[in-house]
Amino acid sequence: MTATKIGIIWNPSKIDEDVLRSAVAETLDGDVQWWETSEDDPGLGMAKDALAAGCGTVIAVGGDGTVRAVAEALAGTDVALGIVPQGTGNLLARNLEVPLDDIPAALRRIGTSETRTIDLGWVSMNGEERAFTVMVGFGIDAQMLVETDDDLKDRAGWLAYVEAMGRAMAGTEMTGIRLALDGGDPQEVRGHTLLIGNCGMVQGGVRLLPDAKLDDGLLDLLLVSADGALQWLDTVRSVVWDNGIRRLLTRDETAVSTESTRHLTAERISVELEQPLAFEVDGEELGEVSSFEVRVQAGALLVR
């Protein structure tokens, strides 16, 4: 990477400052400026300050919340985002294949890679709009991660997520959903999970949105309406086998929908819920919503 002004936005609850500064000094050239996140601001204001300071690359050091906040500030600019993942999910980093457990390796990748352009999602809810880099929605994905047994995960890998998915689905309830895609007529559907994302892989290599691509100008949607044990098994089979292992074996890139799992794509999505439900943005729970709108901003973000 050509020497330039670099902004480092780091979450002090995720990493020791001396360790980070040492790794940066050993791997990056250029004028480096530093901003520390706070409990009140996970990185949005700091990223705006980095833009004002003329940084050509801004590196988010922290979890998904820090990455999301920095990406929101950089959207639509020619300033590139770099990621040094230090959270538990690290979902955008996983989808970009950024090294997860090696700070110098992540920094070297930022310093030596070319920039690429990816899309950014925006969600409007409860009177505010915020960006997301991975996915938003309600239902099993957050529950699945919460429910996953760490000991089983260490012993059985992705099979732990299958077991957790079954328990998570058993703990969710069906609700009425009024769904409109790209300004079309609303559809009345029922489900217990609705996920809308820009990329689809979560922890354990599980791809909840198997067709999602970071740079296709589209958002991918998963509606899960499993009702009863047999349909729960059908959903698990769809996620793990049809849209997971089978795709790897056959290199078939088409997502498989079933009676209980529907895959759709759109640029704009409007959702009204029969009852308020807990909502998440990039893995962060933000309270309950009864309606929300989602849009994609194609090519909004430069990343290294």
pLDDT digits (tens, 9 = 90+) for 252-279: 566 666 667 888 999 999 999 999 998 9
- Of 90, 114, 138, the position where a domain reaches its end is 114
98 and 134, same domain (yes or no): no
What percentage of the chain exceeds 90 in pLDDT? Answer: 62
Residue 79's pLDDT is 97
14 and 52, same domain (yes or no): yes
Ordered DSSP codes for the chain: ----EEEEEE-TTTS-HHHHHHHHHHH--SEEEEEE--SS-SSHHHHHHHHHTT-SEEEEEESHHHHHHHHHHHTTSSPEEEEEE-SS--HHHHHTT--SS-HHHHHHHHHHSPPEEEEEEEEEETTEEEEESSEEEESHHHHHHHH--HHHHHHHTTHHHHHHHHHHHHT---EEEEEEETT---EEEEESEEEEES--B-GGG-BSSTT--TTSS-EEEEEE---SHHHHHHHHHIIIIIIIIHHHHH---PPPP-SSEEEEEESEEEEEEEEEEEEEETTEEEEEEEEEEEEEEEEEEEE-
Asked if pLDDT for residue 154 goes beyond 80, the answer is no
In a domain? residue 84: yes
Residue 192's pLDDT is 86
201 and 294, same domain (yes or no): yes
In a domain? residue 41: yes
14 and 144, same domain (yes or no): no
CB distance 7 to 53 below 8 Å: yes
Residue 269's pLDDT is 98
Token pair of 251, please? 């290199």
Asked if pLDDT for residue 30 goes beyond 70, the answer is yes
Residue 284's pLDDT is 85
CB distance 219 to 296 below 8 Å: yes
28 and 154, same domain (yes or no): no
201-211: average pLDDT: 74
Domain that holds residue 212: 122-298
What pTM value is reported for the model?
0.85
Count of Cβ atoms closer than 10 Å to residue 18 Cβ: 8
In a domain? residue 303: no
Q: What is the CATH number of the domain that holds 92?
A: 3.40.50.10330
Q: For the ranges 113-117, 192-196, 265-269, 283-287, which has the lowest average pLDDT?
A: 283-287
168 and 50, same domain (yes or no): no
Number of separate domains in the chain = 2
183-194: average pLDDT: 93
Q: pLDDT digit string (tens) for 69-123?
A: 999 999 999 999 999 999 878 889 999 999 998 999 999 999 999 999 999 999 9
292 and 180, same domain (yes or no): yes
- Of 92, 114, 136, the position where a domain reaches its end is 114
224 and 268, same domain (yes or no): yes
Who wins on pLDDT, 3 or 271?
271
In a domain? residue 264: yes
69 and 150, same domain (yes or no): no
**Average pLDDT value over all residues in the chain:** 85
144 and 268, same domain (yes or no): yes
Q: What is the CATH number of the domain that holds 156?
A: 2.60.200.40
21 and 148, same domain (yes or no): no
- Of 65, 89, 114, the position where a domain reaches its end is 114
164 and 293, same domain (yes or no): yes
In a domain? residue 304: no
Asked if pLDDT for residue 155 goes beyond 70, the answer is no
